[in-house]
């Protein structure tokens, strides 16, 4: 059988890693794919940059869209990134030309995944994206194939290694967010502009994709409730440990009576939960099925090697002629499920207050909770300050309550004249 001719658009960290993997694993991939996997065309912004990879025999294209429509390419790998612009043009052009596509572009799929799935299935070509979610963890393949006999009841995970590294380091070192973020940037674990990571957007892109695969519904990035980790302090991490929790930024999805609930935010995770012990730059995803029960997938969530490994898995499927519905079921059959309003979410909460150490403070807090019918489970209050103008922390946890009621209670508490800064609220997840 003739070689699978691969065109790669984008030769950054992942693109270079893919070229190296395809070269070093050439014989094994040919056996596993039933044919040789050969890079015949490439495109990147700077053809003169030294990348440390062998591109001999590959045609260089200054225009990646021209690569996508070229007759010398059987499959297009898009590794440019970005939700629109040239990355989107490359993918749409390849699909229109009847070529299968492999991409690691989570932003593109989060914003346009449903339309691309429709186009790919109409053209009769595969759209692979294992590398777009959780790096080297084969979670897309697990959901589309290994767990296909199950109805997924809940899915959650650590989907951003930068945030997990920061929170892990804060817990281990006792240092605060800003200091650890600067260290993560110095080590290359965080971008110069880390907003997409630390504000939860990157994790939300991945969660929107996973939700579609798990629940057979259109990708709905707009339906994801997103919060980041900027407000988490060393104080909160220390209190979490005292209460038997660790703080993790999680993406969570489940089907409720109100629709599909998608949330990305910091969570208090019970210490006994396996995901609480996933540290550093590692990712983890838990999928719960009605027959299989709870399954945990863990590994490196980013980087040249893990992501290239995931892209290679999609290329082997294409070499063998494997073509599955993009999001588990045919695009025309994706269930148009409503997004569950965040205010209808129910759960327990951790609240840290910085209060002036005066008589009657706790009474005011308790009254605000009582008036919104929020039941307090526990309270931690340290010794009194010798400075009457100094603020001291008060931590409380609640029993399960509705998000809207909790939000109203916290807003009332924040208006008390003894509260000196915005309350820190973290949802408690029973996993």
Residue 171: partners with Cβ closer than 8 Å, 6 or more residues away = 237, 241, 246, 247
* Phi, psi torsion values for 57, nearest 5 degrees: 90, -10
Beta bridge partners of 266: 249
Per-residue confidence (pLDDT) for residue 51, from 0 to 100 = 81
**For residue 283, which of 169, 133, 182 has the smallest C-alpha distance?**
133
Per-residue confidence (pLDDT) for residue 288, from 0 to 100 = 97
* Phi, psi torsion values for 80, nearest 5 degrees: -85, -45
Residue 120: partners with Cβ closer than 8 Å, 6 or more residues away = 95, 100, 101, 126, 127, 326
Q: Are 260 and 208 in contact (CB under 8 A)?
A: no
Beta bridge partners of 409: none
State both tokens at 92.
Answer: 């749409």
**Number of DSSP helices (H) and strands (E) in the chain, helices first:** 14, 17
**For residue 233, which of 272, 290, 181 has the smallest C-alpha distance?**
181
Catalytic residue selected from 99, 141, 206, 248: 206
Element (H or E) spanning 17, and its range?
helix 13-24
Q: Are 232 and 247 in contact (CB under 8 A)?
A: yes
Per-residue confidence (pLDDT) for residue 127, from 0 to 100 = 97
Per-residue confidence (pLDDT) for residue 189, from 0 to 100 = 83
**For residue 51, which of 42, 62, 59 has the smallest C-alpha distance?**
42
Per-residue confidence (pLDDT) for residue 45, from 0 to 100 = 87
Q: Are 412 and 355 in contact (CB under 8 A)?
A: no
Residue 306: partners with Cβ closer than 8 Å, 6 or more residues away = 135, 136, 137, 299, 300
Start-to-end CA distance of the chain, whole Å, equals: 49
206 is known as an active-site residue: yes
Per-residue confidence (pLDDT) for residue 301, from 0 to 100 = 86
User: Which domains does the chain show, CATH number per domain?
Assistant: 4-132 (3.40.50.720), 139-300+332-341 (3.30.360.10), 345-428 (3.30.70.260)
Q: CA of 428: how far to CAs of 86, 148, 423, in Å?
A: 41, 30, 16
pTM passes above 0.75? yes
State whether residue 80 is helix, strand or coil.
Answer: coil
| Pairing label, strands 391-398, 282-289 | unpaired
Residues in the chain where the model's pLDDT stays below 70: 383-389
To which residue do tokens 């281990």 refer? 172
Per-residue confidence (pLDDT) for residue 187, from 0 to 100 = 83
To which residue do tokens 């980790």 refer? 229
State both tokens at 63.
Answer: 């225009």
Per-residue confidence (pLDDT) for residue 323, from 0 to 100 = 92
HEC sequence for 279-341: CCCEEEEEEEECCCEEEEEEEECCCHHHHHHHHHHHHHHHHCCCCCCCECECHHHCCCCCECC
List pLDDT tens digits, range 247-288: 999 999 999 999 999 999 999 999 999 999 999 999 999 999
Give 3-state DSSP helix, strand, coil % of the chain, rounded to 5. Answer: 40, 25, 35
Percentage of residues of the chain with pLDDT beyond 70: 98
Q: Are 301 and 163 in contact (CB under 8 A)?
A: no
Give the DSSP letter of residue 275: G
List pLDDT tens digits, range 168-196: 999 999 999 999 999 989 888 888 899 99
To which residue do tokens 């719960």 refer? 288
State whether residue 136 is helix, strand or coil.
Answer: coil
Per-residue confidence (pLDDT) for residue 389, from 0 to 100 = 66
Give the DSSP letter of residue 144: I
């Amino acid at each position: 059988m003739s070689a699978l001719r691969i065109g790669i658009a984008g030769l950054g960290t992942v693109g270079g890693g893919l070229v190296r993997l395809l070269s070093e694993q050439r014989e094994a991939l040919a056996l596993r794919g039933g044919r040789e996997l050969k890079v015949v065309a490439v495109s990147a912004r700077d053809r003169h940059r030294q990348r440390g990879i062998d591109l001999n025999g590959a045609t260089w294209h200054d225009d990646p869209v021209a690569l996508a429509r070229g007759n010398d390419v059987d499959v297009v790998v898009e590794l440019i990134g970005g939700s629109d612009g040239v990355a989107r043009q490359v993918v749409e052009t390849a699909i229109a030309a009847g070529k299968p596509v492999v991409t690691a572009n989570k932003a593109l799929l989060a914003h346009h995944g449903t339309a691309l799935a429709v186009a790919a299935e109409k053209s009769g070509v595969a759209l692979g994206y294992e590398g777009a979610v959780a790096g080297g963890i084969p979670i897309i393949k697990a959901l589309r194939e290994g767990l296909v006999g199950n109805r997924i009841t809940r899915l959650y995970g650590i989907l951003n290694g930068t945030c997990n590294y920061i929170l892990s380091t804060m817990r281990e070192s006792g240092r605060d967010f800003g200091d650890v973020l600067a260290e993560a940037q110095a080590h290359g674990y965080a971008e110069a502009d880390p907003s997409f990571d630390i504000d939860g957007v990157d994790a939300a892109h991945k969660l929107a994709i996973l939700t579609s695969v798990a629940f057979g519904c259109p990708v709905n990035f707009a339906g994801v409730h997103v919060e980041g980790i900027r407000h988490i302090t060393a104080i909160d991490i220390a209190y979490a440990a005292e209460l038997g929790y660790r703080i993790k930024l999680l993406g969570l999805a489940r089907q409720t009576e109100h629709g599909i609930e998608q949330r990305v935010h910091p969570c208090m995770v019970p210490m006994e939960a396996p995901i609480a012990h996933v540290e550093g730059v590692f990712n983890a995803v838990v999928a719960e099925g009605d027959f299989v029960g709870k399954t945990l997938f863990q590994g490196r969530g980013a980087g040249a090697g893990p992501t290239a490994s995931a892209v290679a898995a999609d290329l082997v499927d294409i070499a063998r002629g494997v073509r599955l519905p993009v999001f588990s079921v045919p695009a025309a059959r994706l269930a148009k499920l409503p997004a569950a309003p965040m205010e209808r979410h129910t759960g327990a909460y951790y609240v840290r207050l910085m209060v002036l150490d005066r008589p009657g403070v706790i009474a005011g807090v308790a009254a605000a909770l009582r008036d919104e019918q929020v039941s307090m489970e526990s309270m931690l209050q340290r010794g009194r300050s010798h400075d009457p103008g100094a603020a001291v922390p008060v931590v409380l946890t609640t029993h399960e309550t509705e998000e809207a009621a909790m939000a109203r209670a916290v807003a009332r508490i924040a208006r008390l004249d003894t509260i000196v800064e915005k309350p820190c609220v973290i949802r408690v997840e029973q996993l």
